Amino acid sequence: MNKLFTLLLISLSFSVLAQQDSLWKKQARIYTPEILLGQTFASNDGFPDRGKHKQLLFQFGRNHQNNPQEWAQRYKGIKTGVGFGITDFGNLDSLGVAFTIIPQVEFNAFGSKRFSTVVGLGASYFTKNYDPITNPNNQAVTTDYTWAFRLFLHYKFYKGNSIDWRIGAGYSHHSNGHTKLLNQGYNSILFSVSGEVHQAPKVSERKRINSLKKSRYKFIDARYGQGFQVLGLAFNKNKPVYTGAITFGNVYNNSLKIGVGAHYRFYQNYYDYIQDNESLVRDGKEFENFRERPFYYASNLGIHVNTEFLLNHFGIDITVGYNIYKPGYQIDWRINEGWDNTPREITDTWMLGEFNSKYHLKKSISTRMGLKYYLFGTHTYRKQNYYIGAHLNSNLGQADFTEVSIGYTYNFRLK
């Protein structure tokens, strides 16, 4: 699964580059080498000693200031690109090296062209990860492939004819999206120096930017996805989460989608736990009634609000939802939020997770963030479109499952 997820993210990344090269040849190309230094925090007790976090990132991108498409003009000063990085976390023997590919979007910040915010979401390959015998103290990741996320603020301190020099500070995170445990993740605070090299077009080649008019039309979106997750250390086998959703809303100025909808999910892990008559659902145990309707108790129904930033073929997708019911999560919480390393056969004296306020928040609030690639560009109105996506689903920020999806969008105008 992790290889499938990584291949999808890589294909999305190269699709971004391909669409730019074919459609916007007259826009300025950018090549940005960036050196980053900082510190990776301990992911668990007894985490290996480490020196400074060191990273080299090289981005191929484009400045869309002269892109005549509406989305580029609405997001003033936007830049897009794909970064390729290599990271040393400060301990090669235990933490190894990460190779990263990460699509990135950059916006002007604080109303200034000198400040910019960079958001990136991609994938990393690790040369070292957790092993109970050879590498027991590194509980950050247990898979070769992980999600990679970065959020940075840059300041341009010198602007030259063809290169702009910048300093930056930000946050970097790697984790596998709950596809295998242990999965504490890597969290790092970093500082950077970068040189943004411009390959600007001739002035005579620049297209005239027409004045923008406001527009709005309706959309209805249907998607199917398949997620991947594990239940706990004693059930550390990757099983599917089947998902479906419908969203209805508005597209504003061919650049922003906002909608509301409903989603359904079926967790194979919850269903199998009930069907296999595991510890917590046996006669006399807390969830014995789950055996009466295992399909229901393995299901999840919720409503959501979706926001998507449209960048032609590319979409940055963020969803916040409320779970109307998700009963199987009670088993999940009991197993994973009590004492560490809960065994498959749970004794009566074992300390399980408590149903506190933290539990109620995580059970109620779902979040979803990821990338979408549209078959047809969204820069103008089009009745029908299709997309593929890669997303990380969470329980209020705590990873729930990694998902790949396909979807269909129908757009229409009301008279």
Per-residue pLDDT of the chain (415 residues), as tens digits, is 555 555 555 555 555 554 544 444 555 789 999 999 999 999 999 999 999 999 999 999 988 887 888 898 899 889 999 999 999 999 999 999 999 999 999 999 998 889 999 999 999 999 999 998 999 999 999 999 999 999 999 999 999 888 999 999 999 999 999 999 988 899 999 999 999 998 765 444 445 455 778 999 999 999 999 999 999 999 999 999 999 999 999 999 999 999 999 999 999 999 999 999 999 999 999 999 999 999 999 999 999 999 999 999 999 999 999 999 999 999 999 999 999 889 999 999 999 999 999 999 999 999 999 999 999 999 999 999 999 999 999 999 899 999 999 999 999 987 6
| SS3 state at 207 | coil
CATH of 2-205, one of 2.40.160.20, 2.40.50.140, 1.10.10.10, 3.40.1350.10: 2.40.160.20
Distance CA 60, CA 121 (A): 15
The predicted pLDDT at position 222 comes to 98
Distance CA 56, CA 34 (A): 6
The tokens for 7 are 């291949």
Residue ranges, comma separated, of all CATH 2.40.160.20 domains in the chain are 2-205
Distance CA 251, CA 71 (A): 12
CB neighbour list of residue 108: distance below 8 Å, 6 or more residues apart = 76, 77, 115, 116
Q: Quickly count: other Cβ atoms within 10 Å of residue 326's Cβ.
A: 23
The predicted pLDDT at position 203 comes to 43
Q: What share of the chain is helix, strand, coil (3-state, %, to 5)?
A: 15, 50, 35
Distance CA 93, CA 101 (A): 23
Distance CA 42, CA 36 (A): 19
Decide: pTM greater than 0.75: yes
The predicted pLDDT at position 22 comes to 45
CB neighbour list of residue 281: distance below 8 Å, 6 or more residues apart = 273, 274, 287, 288, 290, 291, 331
One-letter amino acid for residue 144 of the chain? D
DSSP conformation class of 341 = S
The tokens for 47 are 């985490």
Q: Judge: domain 216-412, CATH 2.40.160.
A: yes
CA dihedral 22, 23, 28, 30 (to 10 degrees): -50
Distance CA 75, CA 69 (A): 11
Distance CA 137, CA 128 (A): 12
CB neighbour list of residue 366: distance below 8 Å, 6 or more residues apart = 302, 304, 319, 320, 321, 322, 323, 393, 394, 395, 396, 400
